Structures are given as structure tokens and as C-alpha cells.
Amino acid sequence: MATQLRAPVCRALSLDARLASALDKAPMTGPVHSVFRRVLNVLAADRLVALSSEGLDDAPWSVRTDVADWRRLGVEVGAVVVLDSGHIAVEGAPGIALDLRHCQKWHATVSSAAAVATDLLARRTAALEGLLDARGVPGGVVPPRADASPIEAELGRRLRAGCERLTQAVRANDDGAASLAARSLLGLGPGLTPAGDDFMVGLALVAAVPGSRLVAVGRAIRAVLDACPDHTTLVSRATLEEAVAGRARESLLGILNRVFAAPHGDDARFAEHLRTPVDRVLSIGHTSGTDILSGLVAGLRLENELRGSM
């Protein structure tokens, strides 16, 4: 039978090294889970693999491509996707044939918390908080506008109460209270990655930095994800699981690595260096970027407090 050939319309640019390693061991097959402008999610081997667009960061279980808009490629939810160590193909879409053999592998790397003294960490955290205050979006964990509807106001109240309870429980190293607080946040918020989850992603990333004192955070979030796997969306659960393991999109890790980098330059320059990755994170979703950074700042403040108490 003659094979119908069609030139590929897209190209793989980079992929997560852990995904590459998994594909080296065994191919994956699964349906398209969701299609957005900048991401096509595939549900394969019980996890979400994201085919993203060039403008997005490298991220866990993700293949970055030069596709500008996945919605225009005519891929239907449910179409079967086959991934192996060299290629990704989508059933019914012969133009989408991604060659993985020559694209760059991305490694999620995080610095150790040990290189930065307490006073420097406090100053860097303040710089990050300054950027967040100046550029963050209200409506998630940040108080909503004055004209918020009763639902938005109630949502905001619960979010801020949950965040406060979680930080207090971590401060007290109280695993039980931390789990309860994490449970109150899981799935709270309207979006595909609810604001409560986003806050915990930021917190979990700080906790996952080697040498961090926030050990209670990882334990609490893992316990809640195990106990209530259906309490949040699939996309958000996958993001949280990776964050607990210290893996997240590159711009987030970039911020953490700058915060925990060996001392150099003055504080003003440090804020300048942070601006680009902060802007990139703030552009995630509607309030997601702001909520993740709020969790990151809360985690960094806790890290400093707990250092002082040891």
C-alpha cells in the first residue's frame, strides 16, 4: 500500500530530559486530552505530556515545538498520539510528525539553599516581593477588586485563609494542620489550575530546594494528593506532583536559582535580573502566575524564619 506522505508542519525544539529517558525505555500511546492555543496535552502512560509552543518555557514532561497555535492544526480531543524515543505522531494529522532525535534536552535543575546567607535571602525575597506587589494580578490569592461579586469575594476569603493556615502549620512544623490546610486549598479557584493549587506549587518548589527547612510542605501536599486525587484538575495535580519533586517550568526555576545563587552584584541589579523571569511567570494564565509567585514568596519568607529558629 502506498504511504501518503506529507511534509511535517511543525518541529520539536527541546524536550524534558526525563521524558526523553522514559521514551528511551518504552514508547507511550494515549489520547489527546485537551487542545489550547499554546499547548496540546496528551494523556499517556497515566500522565500528561504537553506539546507546547515555542513561546512557552521548557517544563516537566513537555516537548517544546515551533507550533504557534495548536488549535489551528485540526487535532481533535481523543485523537491517538504515539510517542517513542525518536518521534511523536498524531493519528489523523500526518503533518504533525515531531522528530525528537536532534532536539535539545532540558534538565530541571535547582540550586542548593546553602549558598545564600539569611540576610541576603531576606533581601532577595523582598526584591521578589516588590516585583510581585508592583506587577501581580488581583483576584486569586491577592485580594480581589472592590467591585468583586459575592462569589469572588468568598473565594478570595477562603484562599487567603487557607494560605495563612498552611504557612502557620509549616512554621509550627505541624504535619496534621498542614495537611488540613493543604486540603482546604486543593482545587480552590475557578481555573484549570486553581489558585489554591498554584499557591502550593510555589511553596512546594521552595520546599524542594536542597537544604530547605520547609520539609512539612512536601509531606502535606503529597499526603493530600494521595488522599484526594480527584479534588483538583488533572493538569493541576500533575503540576503539583512535579513541584513537590522540585520540577517546574524553566522561568520558575530560573527565579529560584537566582534567589539561591552565590552572592554577586548589588540588590538593585538583583531585582533587574529577576524582572524577565518574573514577568514570564506572571504571564501564566490569568492569576496563576501571581498565585505561584505568592506561594514562592511565602515559602522564601518561611525559609528565612525557620533558619533563624534552628
Partner 1 sequence: MSVTALVKKNTYIDSVSLMSISTKANAIAGVSQAFVAMGTEKNKEVLKSVGLLAPELEAATNGDLMIVVDAEAGVAPEELVPAIEELLVRKAPAGGAADVTYRTITTAAQANDGANLAVIAVNGAYAAREARKALENGLHVMLFSDNVPVEDEVALKALAHEKGLLMMGPDCGTAIINNVGLCFANAVRPGTIGVVAASGTGSQEVSVRIHALGAGISQLIGTGGRDLSEQVGGVMMIDGIRALAADPGTEAIVLVSKPPAPSVEKKVLAEIATAGKPVVVYFIGGSEAAVAAAGGHFAASSQDAALQAVRLAGDPEASVPGLDVARADAARAGFAPEQRYVRGLFCGGTLCDESMFALLDAGEDVWSNIQKDPAFVLAAGSPSKGHTFLDFGDDEFTNGRPHPMIDPSLRLARLVEEAKDPSVAAVVMDFVLGFGAHEDPVGVTIPAITEAKKIAADAGRHLEIVGYVLGTDRDTPNAAAQIAALESVGVTVTRSSTETGQYARAIVRKGHNA
Task: Check: CB of residue 197 under 8 Å from CB of residue 290.
Answer: no
Determine the size of the site formed for partner 1 (CB under 8 A): 52
Site membership for partner 1, residue 188 (CB under 8 A) = yes
3-state secondary structure of 46: coil
Contacts (CB under 8 A) with partner 1, residues 127-156 = 139, 149-151, 154-155
Alpha-carbon distance values, 215 to 60, 112, 221, 239, 253 (Å): 22, 14, 11, 19, 19
Question: Residue 124 phi/psi, 5° resolution?
Answer: -70, -40
Chain mean position to CA 129? 19
Among residues 23, 30, 33, 204, the one that binds partner 1 under rule CB under 8 A? 33
Site membership for partner 1, residue 186 (CB under 8 A) = yes
Among residues 52, 62, 125, 288, the one that binds partner 1 under rule CB under 8 A? 288
Site membership for partner 1, residue 299 (CB under 8 A) = no
Task: Check: CB of residue 300 under 8 Å from CB of residue 135.
Answer: no
Q: How far apart are CA 304 and CA 302, in angstroms?
A: 5
Angle at the Cα of 214 (from 210 to 217), degrees rounded to 5? 110
Q: What is the pattern of x (binds partner 1, CB under 8 A) and - over residues 208-247? A: --------------------x-xxxxxx------------
* Complex with partner 1: residue 2 or 262, whichever CB lies closer: 262
Residue numbers of the site for partner 1 (CB under 8 A)? 11, 13-14, 33-34, 36-37, 54, 66, 77, 104, 139, 149-151, 154-155, 158, 184-194, 196, 228, 230-235, 254, 264-265, 269, 272-273, 275-277, 279-280, 285-288
